[in-house]
Structure 1
Amino acid sequence: MTTHYVQCTKRGLTKIPAGFPASSTEVSLDRNNISEIYSSSFVGLIYLRVIHLDHSGITTLANNSFIGLLQLKTLYLNNNELQEINRGVFNKLWNLTELHLEYNNIAYIEEGAFSALTSLSTLFLDHNLLISLPQSATNHFFWFLSNIRLGENPWSCSCDVMAEFIPMVMNRSMVISDYSDMFCKETGENANFSMKDVLVKRCTNITSEQVFEMKQFDNWPNILKILVITVAAIILTTFFIIIVICLWRPIVLFTHRKCKCCVRKRYPEDGDKSFDAFLAYSHKDDDYVTREFIPRLENELKYRLCVYYRDFPIGGTIADTVASSINRSKRTILLVSKHFNDHEWRNTAFQHSFGGLFKQKDNHLIIVLLDDAKGMKLDRQLKVLVKSHHVISYRDMCFWEQLQYKMGSSKRSIVRNNTPDLILNHSYTQQQDADGYETPVSSSASNTETDKCRRSLDSINNIYEEIRSSKLSDISLV
């Protein structure tokens, strides 16, 4: 908040001047000759937060002297000639937190003089002529102050007068900063007595039970603090749990990235399958899939993939081949692109194979969006499949971590030839198993083995062209 400071110190003023800017937030009127503060002296200064009226010879404070100052926080009236504080002086100063009345001649405070100061935390009454305090102050008001000064006053040693005051002082000694300077003086005697001496030696009618009861009351602020802290802790804990629930997946992925061996997802239904994943995609996405997707999964992450141009048996129907590939793989990765949606998924046999197999296999299917879903008009059944399974976007910055997390651990490591040409062209040596599937095996670095791999690649490419020419290429599966 902007501060607008008005400086009127040592101006020889005899009364509060008019015409302060309405935006004033702090006014210094100290060290003048203002004997009396009249009612409504500061009317209209609704933003005023601090007033300095110390060292100004003030003797009288009229009722409602500070009326209308709803934002007033600090009031300095110390080092004046005040003799009494009447009930209506501090009316409606609900936000006042600090009141300085030290170094005056105050001998009397009217009952209820501080009752309007509901936010007050600091009160200085030291170096005055007080012999007692109003009962309302000792019974209630003083218990909620955090900084009090009462020293250097001629407090009465009368047990009747001190019946409420002394127990309050004894129990609030921790917040009375000048407690050691508080003494009472018996009329006609020169000796001063500490508050403890008055309680123990002189006023035996003030029982320890009274002090204990006041201590119990004095503990209420601490109890309130404990309650506030407890409620705050519960709220923070609840908020933390909500945050963890909302951010659970990013947290798991981050942990997976830092400690992969500890958090790889495992599913009991995986069993012993021939492949870690069966890859289904559009043949129009061949360039990306064969150059980046497959090498990343097989060479770097050591997963064993079932891909159509390499692992499909020759002569099978589309539905049977897809169904068998799915059953022989722990996962099925569906690479959904505009090409896949517009071509491959339109094949009824292919669509039927997926629709029947994934109703009860939530962990089996991994859907990867290669294009923005908003830009694709997904087929109705494909849209249902996308909505009912976890989807990973290729554009996600944590795409590979998410995919690896969903894939889980691979029980096999595929040993590939490190020859650059072989990796670039994905030419692997293969052998058929009992079911007609071609399983990748390790390749030798020798020239003879390299030639064999290249011949195998040529054979695979010929088969691939035959599949396309026979219109089986409508389903490109990796």
Structure 2
Amino acid sequence: MPSLWTRIIHGTFSQFPHQFLKMERHILDKVCIMSSCLFLCLIMWTVPAEGYFIRNCTVHGSLNYTDRLKVLCYKMSFHQVPSDIPHNTKVLDISINYISQLKEGNFKNLTNLSILNISKNHIGFLEEGVFKDLMSLYEMNLAHNALREISGGMFKGLNNLTELNLGYNHIKSIEPSTFQILSNLRVVNLSFNALFDIEQIREVLKHFRLREIYVGGNNFSDFSTEKISNLSLNVQVLDLSYNPFRYLKITSDIFPNLIVLDLSYSGSKNGFQWEVKNTSFVSGVKRLFLNGTHVSYSQMQSILRSFSNILEELYLNKLQSQTMQDYLNVTCLVLPKLKVLSLQNNKFISLQKKQLEYCRQLEEIDLSKNKLQNMSKTLFQGLNRLGFLNISYNNLTAVPNATQNITSLQTFDLSYNMIKHLENYDFMNLTNLRYLNLAGNVITLITGSLFSNLFNLQVLKLGSNLILSIQGPLSPSLGKLEVLELRINKLSSIKNSTFLYLNSLKELNLIDNQISSLEEGSFLGLQRLKALLLGSNKLTRDTFRKTDVFTGVTGLNELQFFDNYLSYESTDKLSYPPFLSLKFLNRLTINSQGHNGLLNFPSNLLEGLTSLKELHAGNLNINELHPDTFSYTPMLSFLDLSKNVLSTIDSRVFRMVSSLTEFILSQSRLESLDFLIRANLTKLKVLRGKRNELNTINETLIRSLPLLKYLDLQQNPFTCDCDNAWFVNWSLSNPHTQVIYFNKFRCGYPPNLKDMTLESMRTDSCVVNINLICFISSTTLVTVTLVVSFIYHFLRWHLIYGYYLILAFLYDKKHRFQNKEKMICYEYDAFISYNTKDEPWVLRELVPHLEDTEGWKLCLHHRDFEPGKPIIDNIVESIYKSRKTICIISRNYLESEWCSREIQLASFRLFDEKKDILILLFLEDIPTSKLSPYYRMRKMVKKKTYLKWPENDKGTRVFWHKLNVALNAEEGYKKDPYINDLNEN
């Protein structure tokens, strides 16, 4: 059986080249794939991302949709326009800041911007071309700034602008060509500037698309159509209010389309001169404002006659005249088509019948904010079209008799008077009334018969009174009532069947009373009620011990129960969950319970609320939530738990609310948000956690909220170290989530960085440079690939030979130690390694010359090998028993496997014993390319110690001499000078 060494050399080496080539191709394929992946990785990591974060601004909408993106930067102390506005912004508000000038490039690339508000800044300079990129802008507000002049190229590029507000500046001059480039302009506001001549706005008025112009509050002393144009204009609304006119002259028909004219607070203390050459020049005016003017009785008549038979709405609020009541005598007489008359704030104390006797066409009268105490019983007699009457904010102590018979009345506002009592007959004949407002009086009692015959009433407001009780069910006449407001009164309880007949009621507002009990059947009859507001009362848990508290309102959508006195001793299940029957409830507000708060949130408090979508449960003084708290509310999408003491929350609490989209946890003393990682809130879009004890936000947390759009974590003591490095970079660069006011986040730790902004923390030393790693990795991989390929192509056989040489060395080393132990001496002068086909030459030439002539003792296969012993063992022993090994190299020798083994074994004495015992003897010329890698290696190593058999007889003598010298040479790497000379050229 062959030895281990034989099996290794013979089996493995003979198959290895083919296997190596196959393996190399496989490895190279993988290397190429890996190199490509790393290269792509490098490219991907170098692509910059557009961030969602804007300093001191909030973004409403998604960066991916241009139709809804709104950026709000108002009231943020900006001194210049933010440079990081998203390019697809639709609405931009940077009002109420300290911006003093606008320069070209401030709005670069905002080509989708439609609405721009830059009002209430300090802008005094607009560089030409500053708006050139805003080709989609249609509304711009530059009001309340410091502009002094408007130049020709100031609004270049605003071809689609339709509305421009330049009010409340200091504009003194307008270049005529300014508005010519605004081809779609429809509305211009130049109110409250320093313009002094009406000719300054002539070119504006002549704009062919202009429909509305507001130039009130300037210094125009006269208005004459002769100074404006000879052609008809398209203006429909003209505001000339707050100007010190001496006269207004309309002497030509340039306003054929004018509908609204505002002359409020115009003229001097002596009024102004009014001249209309032909009433047809103002024949289109339907609405006229003369509020606050100082016009005499005769001046008023002159003005009103110009609009006779055409005017429909007249506003005479706060007139500066002692004879205001006299105006009423002629107003309706001169204006027979008048429909709307507003007389607010004119200090009326009483009104008599004759003052409105000609106002039979009136549909709306506003007498609010006067000092009315009484009215003539027949004041509104004959006003059969009156549908709106407002007498709020007066001094009436009772419902006027004058209003009892206005059968056409639909809206009646008596709020904020001094009415104490209501009588059954007050509204007896107002059968068409739809809206009745009695809020802000001093009413103390409501009876069931008060609102009889109000069959069409839809809204009844009784808030802010002193109502102590409601006696008996409210009138069956209120069958169409949809809204009943009883907020801010003194009600202490709701009696059984109080609202029994309000079958159409949709909203019942009982906020801010003193209700401490709800009798059984309090809400009977309210089967259509959608909103029940019981906040700010004195209701306790005892209120819900009755199982039928909400009998009659099972279709309720909204229940407000904030600021009451609800509390529980533990989180244990309740025997009678209070909301069990409200299966359609969508919105529940139970925040801010009085005394010590709710204290504990019973595990089944929300049982039955299977449709609940919005829950406000902040400021309840609870410190834990039972895992089953929200197991009854699978549709919950909004949750407010702010202002509680929830230092930690069990993630199991959220296992049934996977639809949650907005979560508020502000001021809850939370130290970590990691509970959200396992909460499975994959649909969460808004997360607010202001004023907590949060230190770090990790990547795992953010990745667990894939749809997050708004993250508000202001006023937390963040740790400014590498634990937050990822969060800082993500906040600044991610395009999907807006970290609201991230630039205001401050460091709480370490102490030396306290109050430094988190945004300014350097993260260079924390973040691994992926680009550099990818570059180094790819470079190294390519280099290694090239080196491996080079070695394989040029040196692979050398390496393979070296590998197997090591294996053979281990075997030989073992054999050498065995020989040393036995102290074996050399038996032969040379071991002859040859192929049997070359044996004739060995016996004919070599043996006679070396043994017979020179006396050397040779070891030959056929003669000296021990019979029956393994061949390999015979070879090894013969080599180590001989001083030298002579290899007879021929083509036959190269083809012999055993000859190859012999020359390899002989080499180990060169490497191991440092004895150069090998002599190569070439019988014929063999090209180097025909030699195996091993023989090429040996020829290279022994390039000065090999012999060649001569081709003619003349060289044989020298050949034998050289061979004899080689056999006598010293053993070792150090060469004898004489032997060196033996080498053939």
TM-score > 0.5 by shorter chain: no
Higher relative contact order (CA 8 A, sep 6+): 1
TM-score, structure 2 as length reference: 0.19
Higher helix proportion, which one? 1
Structure number with bigger Rg: 2
